[in-house]
Amino acid sequence: MEKLMIAGGYPLKGTVRISGAKNSAVALIPATILADSPVTIEGLPDISDVQILKGLLEEIGGSVDFADNDMTVDPSSMISMPLPNGKVKKLRASYYLMGAMLGRFKKAVIGLPGGCHLGPRPIDQHIKGFEALGASVTNEQGAIYLRADELKGARIYLDVVSVGATINIMLAAVRAKGKTIIENAAKEPEIIDVATLLTNMGAKIKGAGTDVIRIEGVDQLHGCRHTIIPDRIEAGTYLILGAAAGEGILIDNVIPQHLESLIAKLREMGVNIEAGDDQIFVSPAEKMKAVDIKTLVYPGFPTDLQQPFTSLLTGAEGTSMVTDTIYGARFKHIDELRRMNASIKVEGRSAIINGPIRLQGAKVKASDLRAGAALVIAGLKAEGITEVTGLEHIDRGYSHLVEKLNGLGATIWRENLTKEEMEQMKNA
């Protein structure tokens, strides 16, 4: 096991290229199950979630070739093998195997998903959708059993706007008989990306990116090539880093429209942003003003950037408030930021941050993926050395993080945990 070592205080500048979107990748890969000939996805990120999904497709009989960020999946010899345990528990997005396997085989057994611990993360809306399409869904010893004689299109109103449920119902419905209408659907760019792949495979989908998605079921789907969208959360993380510890960073391969809420907030703080077609240049404010943010579904401020943004706010002048309306308990990074001298208190779903504070390097632990990004940003602007453990969370979502940061002039490296640290981790 490794930890991340960061020597803080070096000003960062240069160009960073953004990888393919993690939250698209984890849905696009399972979506290939629905085809009957090879599908190629170009530009996937080098992250552990992608490797785990590759292994899961191989477990069910798929042939997968993954090199230079492009993955070709031949799904023709896949079978509906039960996956109650093992790799499925390692990532939240393994729930997309439910929709995709149900859509193709009319049956699936998938262990309840793992992933980041952000408080309760139910999947009742996914199940409501599968049942509306005619599947029986039962929970037996920690695995979800899905069976249907036939899937029939239905009108499904989501009680909660959910990215996962919207995509999972799309996956199950594209090969169902007749018309499915998903109302109160989520509108995130990743949903459009998945709909684009499915459409290239021959599916009939209208309205992805709006809150009503209409799907006309087809009997079969075929192979195709698809290029993934850039990762708006990775791009947002580097934008925040550029504001916190940069001297002018150019973010390349980004869709600026996907980050409008973040860009607006950064500008409100006084940060300089110039957005082009597929690039954004960021340089710090002379004096950063405190702001309040509230996370919302897209196109509101993304919950996935709330934690990194909190690290930035420690350097702003005045009191800021961060409220997470999506995951009210996504605050495990706060105790760690406090170890680094931040002045933050948590009240209910909000964190209240007083600044500006000079952060100090410390030994901290990433409890989840975006908490990890928050601590890396804090470490890069802090005085002295910061050690971040819990690297396995960061590796789930940030492609070549160390190389990209060193390319910007950071001093950051991976080190093996000492025996003592391993013991401490085991007992924690």
> Active-site positions?
116
What angle (nearest 5°) sits at the alpha carbon of residue 120, between those of residues 195 and 301? Answer: 55
Among residues 104, 232, 370, 393, which is the contact residue for ligand EPU, using CB under 6 A?
370
- Residue 125 assigned to a binding site: yes
Q: Hey, which residues between 42 and 101 contact ligand EPU (CB under 6 A)? A: 92-93
Q: Which stretch binds ligand EPU (CB under 6 A): 7-15, 58-66, 157-165, 413-421?
A: 157-165
CB 129 to ligand EPU: min, Å? 9
What angle (nearest 5°) sits at the alpha carbon of residue 220, between those of residues 225 and 215? Answer: 85
Looking at the Cβ atoms of 297 and 316, the one nearer to ligand EPU is 297
Q: Where does residue 427 rank: exposed (0-12), middle (13-18), buried (19+ CB within 10 A)?
A: exposed
162 binds ligand EPU (CB under 6 A): yes
Among residues 174, 326, 366, 376, which is the contact residue for ligand EPU, using CB under 6 A?
326
Q: How many CB atoms lie within 10 A of CB 407?
A: 14
- Residue 304 assigned to a binding site: yes
Among residues 23, 180, 237, 261, which is the contact residue for ligand EPU, using CB under 6 A?
23
Residues in contact with 326: Cβ distance below 8 Å, sequence separation at least 6, in sequence order:
295, 296, 297, 303
Among residues 1, 160, 212, 346, which is the contact residue for ligand EPU, using CB under 6 A?
160
163 binds ligand EPU (CB under 6 A): yes
C-beta of residue 375 within 8 angstroms of C-beta of residue 337: yes
Number of residues that bind ligand EPU (CB under 6 A): 25
Query: What's the Rg (C-alpha) of the chain?
Result: 22
Q: Hey, which residues between 95 and 154 contact ligand EPU (CB under 6 A)? A: 116, 121-126
Q: Hey, which residues between 341 and 360 contact ligand EPU (CB under 6 A)? A: none
369 binds ligand EPU (CB under 6 A): yes
CB 112 to ligand EPU: min, Å? 12
Cα(65)–Cα(88) distance, rounded to whole angstroms?
20
| Sheet of 107-111, strands arranged across | 107-111, 143-147, 136-140
Residues in contact with 328: Cβ distance below 8 Å, sequence separation at least 6, in sequence order:
119, 348, 349
Backbone φ and ψ of 164, nearest 5°: -60, -45
- Residue 124 assigned to a binding site: yes
C-beta of residue 73 within 8 angstroms of C-beta of residue 57: yes
Binding-site ranges for ligand EPU (CB under 6 A) = 23, 26, 92-93, 116, 121-126, 160, 162-165, 186, 233, 303-304, 326-327, 369-370, 397
Binding-site residues for phosphoenolpyruvate:
22-23
